[in-house]
Amino acid sequence: MQKNTKDSFEISIPELFDTLDATTSSIEAMSVMVGFAIESGMDLKYISHGIESLIRQQCDDLRNIEANLRNGFQRLKESKFVTLKPDMIARLAGITPELAERLVKIVTTVDYQPETNCDEMLNA
């Protein structure tokens, strides 16, 4: 399932690996093409636009792959801590729920309170 986000498309893990594999294959093919053109002494100005377009497309694909990996990793981190509520963490650690929230935010970037200032957390 693809969902358009701000700068990329959100895709499933299998689709992500397929896209990475296709991008790698395209870059390898372009490498062979450029190598042949250079070795043959061919004038590269005739294929330079195509080379530039292929490189740009592969860079765009890699940016989308990176964004999806980062988003997926962030969701994974959040899911690991969402099941433990601040009061449960506080009881287990012997601290206040507020301190538990601050510590989770500092360590994981998971924010139980959307508008928390880092300076406030450190000075509390």
pLDDT digits (tens, 9 = 90+) for 85-118: 778 888 888 898 888 888 877 777 666 554 444 4
What is the domain range of residue 54? 1-77
Is the domain of 29 the same as that of 64?
Answer: yes
Is the domain of 58 the same as that of 114?
Answer: no
Is the domain of 108 the same as that of 69?
Answer: no
Percentages helix, strand, coil for the chain (3-state, rounded to 5) are: 75, 5, 25
Is the domain of 23 the same as that of 73?
Answer: yes
Q: Give Cβ neighbours of residue 22 (< 8 Å, ≥ 6 apart).
A: 61
Give the number of domains in the chain.
2
pTM for the model: 0.52
Is the domain of 88 the same as that of 73?
Answer: no
Diameter over CA atoms, the chain: 73
* pLDDT, mean of residues 17-42: 89
Is the domain of 57 the same as that of 90?
Answer: no
